[in-house]
Structure 1
Amino acid sequence: DGMGSVRLPAAMCGLVGLKPSAELLAEGGWFGMSAHGPLATTVADTAVLLSVLAADPSLASVPTPSPARIGTSTTVPLLRTPVPKELVAAVSTAAGHLASAGHTLTESAPRYPATMVLGMTARWLAGPAVQAREFDFSRLQRRTRAHVRAGQLVQRAGLIRERTRENWVARAAEFFADHDVLMTPTLSHWPVKAGRWHEKRWLTNVFPSTRLAGFTGQWNFAGYPAITVPVGRSVVSGLPTSVQLVTRPGGESLLLGLAAQLETANPWPRTARK
């Protein structure tokens, strides 16, 4: 998960997907942006998978969380692009379930710095360029070669700046001083149809991918844990709807506990429709 690649597929498929804190697995890929995380059909299975990845058996237990202060936001940070109504409605549905479980919910969001998008995009570009050094460049797909070239330009331009990340982390910490959790939609747009995307040009891939990820990549940049939880289905398309929960570093157990409460209040189907 470098910009949402655990949480976004989970949201598209009606699964639970967890991106851990940057420090939990200590991988450090993509200049600290990328982290492995579990996808599963239940919260309990997600917790077990996380405990194995982290080599920490205590993470397999899903606690009942104490009353939490949850801020909700359905506005795409900085870009403010429109979010489909049914994806917005998923946040309202989940908020109702969590309020019934004893949590306090208010509409609130961090003060996202204008430099955040440039900072995380630079790492998203340059990270794969570093990884590509281990491979024969000529054997990479056309779109991958274009991504690597862009990442090399970013590195040469000195755009991987720790100060940019520090500014965003300070803003995130400011928000979480008054809130325990942030809840947003997971997807900022409906997914595109399946196709042979690996045969298409890099820019053709970039636009639909980034269009989906308006709520996810900033938490890779900050190193905060985030989980996506199914909420329902679109009455128009039948596609799953979901929410993302974010908390402070080290708060995976809190996220799992809240996700379990949503699962209890609103169980989701564990298999695809026939």
Structure 2
Amino acid sequence: MTTSEERTRGERTRVHAFRDDALGEHDAVGLAAAIRRGEVGAAEAARDAAERVRQVEARLHAVQVYVDAPAPGAGFGPFAGVPTFVKDNTDHRGLPTGHGSAAFTPRAARRDAPFVRQFLSSGVTVLGKTRLPEFGFSPTTEYDGAEPVRNPWHTDHSAGGSSGGSAALVAAGAVPIAHANDGGGSIRIPAACCGLVGLKPTRGRVVPNAQSRRLPVDIVSDGIVSRTVRDSAAFLAAAESYRRNPELPPVGLVEGPSGRRLRIGFLTDSPNGVPTDAATRAAVTETAATLERLGHTVQPVELALDPRFTQDFLVYWGLLSFLLGATGRTLGTDFDRRRMDGLSQGLRESYLEHWHRTPGVLRRLKRTKVAYAAAFRGLDLILTPVLAHTTPRIGHLSPAVPYPALVERILAYVAFTPINNVVGTPSLSVPAARTTEDGLPIGVMLSARPGGERTLLEAAFALEAERPFRRIQDV
């Protein structure tokens, strides 16, 4: 196989970097095992990963900044020697943190963020930082006046957001895993767009996110995107070894499906009334049928959210943009909120019109856990789409789109994922199908009760074994 492969079929372009080098076709667990056995060296793996990144970066535009001299992480742990990237909204000592924004000039971080310390404890080698949309607000990684991050399965399409840079690199085979975080779907959305596994942990499962822990509703969880379920399971076990939250049931290392028969609810249309397109609906229905063949009981379920949930989340989203605009000088002394992009400014201006609703919005958002718990009565998991429609082309969700049209498009797309952020429950995206016309991945989502990551991972292992995830290098 060539060092980098691009295939054009009509207007379709696919990009990947899989080749015969130190990384081969290993996932992170497999690469770490090869390093432990002495078959490859950690320095060799870092060098070859850097070369893979260079091969795909001209097309994907996924990297924000590189580490000049990558230092190996801890010499132990499940990912010892595995090359990776940190998302550019999280501090890594010596590198600037830009948050995807042109509103300020970032300065080098003086220390690692708490999550980065937790991540490094798994043994990873950080090669740099990945791009995200401004402040992680968008479900696509696009910009005003800069190249977007492109989907390696089809470069005319979005890689998702906000962890779009991380997802693009992992899907293209540049690195086996990469850091991601999720405040409204930002792990699960790019995982769905790029054919990856994306686990948003329970609130408090990993160390608190530095940006959101002081907010009235902490909606952000850190994690990774990966190509295999076992990598996501190994990450969670490593994170738990570094710090276990005693208020949550332990997960441990999940290594395969469970023999337990589950009761699984499913719904195909969002509780906020947004209809799901035919391809996504079919992916959920087929996954439900697969779970039934595996011996689980699958039944329709209703999630009776407050009808104001979507607008309440939008007001809260605007509050976050307002706070960033008000406190931006803590990021850079030259911060100018007038240079924030169209989505950030639109959210801020919308919030200024509706700020008086904030107390009621916060009360209702915090009560969402009641409706969520009611839906789970008698159930172990709930199966839904990740997104209401398949991955859009670049430009559909660009921050250059006028705000009223843009926010309408976003709400018609991101119709499922925010619920877990508000309630703080774990949720997992796995690849399930591909679009007929463009061959783009379609993800489905499994959600659990608080602390239910083990059940999620066991079910995901079963789906992966029954219907192995399509690999970009094989298409």
- Runs of 5+ unmatched residues, structure 2: 1-181, 245-250, 330-334
Aligned to 1:68: 262
1:46 match: 232
Query: Which deviations, in whole Å up to 9, do the C-alpha atoms of 1:32-85 show, x marking residues without a partner?
Result: 122223211111111223344553585443453321110011122131x33111
Aligned to 2:282: 89
Change in 2 beyond 3 A, CA 1:21/1:153: farther
Contact persistence 2:434–2:442 (CA under 8 A): yes
What is the rounded CA distance, in whole Å, between the counterparts of 1:118 and 1:72 in structure 2? 24
TM-score normalised by the chain length of structure 2: 0.53
Quote how far apart the aligned CAs of 1:114 are: 1.7
Using a 3 Å threshold, how does the CA distance of structure 1 residues 121 and 254 change in structure 2: closer, same or farther?
same
Deviations 1:61-118 (A, max 9, x none): 3453321110011122131x33111211111211122122221111112222223223
CA contact (8 A) 1:144 1:202 kept: no
- 8 Å CA contact retained: 1:90, 1:232: yes
**Corresponding residue of 1:251:** 452
1:22-37 residue pairs with structure 2 within 5 A?
Answer: 22-25=203-206, 26-27=208-209, 28=212, 31-37=217-223
Q: What is the CA–CA distance in structure 1 between the aligned matches of 2:237 and 2:353, rounded to whole Å?
A: 38
TM-score scaled by length of structure 1: 0.88
Counterpart in 1 of 2:408?
A: 207
Relative contact order, higher structure (CA 8 A, sep 6+): 1
Aligned with residue 190 of structure 1, among 366, 390, 404: 390
Residues 1:240 and 2:421 aligned together: no
Please give the per-residue CA displacement for 1:117-143, whole angstroms capped at 9, x wherever unaligned: 233222222123323413412442343
- Checking the alignment, whether the CA contact within 8 Å between 1:2 and 1:124 is kept in structure 2 is no
d(CA) in 1 for partners of 2:243, 2:292: 31
**Matching of residue 19 in structure 1 with residue 213 in structure 2:** no
One-letter code aligned to 2:202:
S
> Number of matched residues?
273
Pick from 370, 375, 378: which aligns with 1:170?
370
Question: What secondary structure is seen at the aligned counterpart in 1 of 2:379?
Answer: coil
CA contact (8 A) 2:279 2:390 kept: no
Partner Cα separation in structure 1 for residue 357 and residue 399 of structure 2: 28
Residue pair 1:227, 1:244 contacting (<8 A) in 2 also: yes
* Alpha-carbon distance, 1:164 to partner: 0.6
Query: Partner of 1:262 in structure 2?
Result: 463
CA RMSD of aligned residues (A): 2.5
Check whether the contact 1:126–1:154 (CA below 8 A) recurs between aligned residues: no
| In structure 2, distance between residues paired with 1:43 and 1:187 | 20
* Letter of the structure 2 residue corresponding to residue 264 of structure 1: A
Partner of residue 149, structure 1 = 349
Segments of 5+ residues of structure 1 without an aligned counterpart are none
Query: Residue 265 of structure 2 aligns to a residue in which SS?
Result: strand
Shift of 1:199: 3.9
The question of whether the paired residues in 1 share the 8 Å contact of 2:343 and 2:399 is answered with yes
Q: Is the 8 A contact 1:123 1:160 kept in 2?
A: no
Code of the aligned partner of 2:398: W
| Inter-CA distance 235–161: structure 2 relative to 1 (3 Å threshold) | closer
Query: 1:88-107 to 2 correspondence within 5 Å?
Result: 88-107=281-300
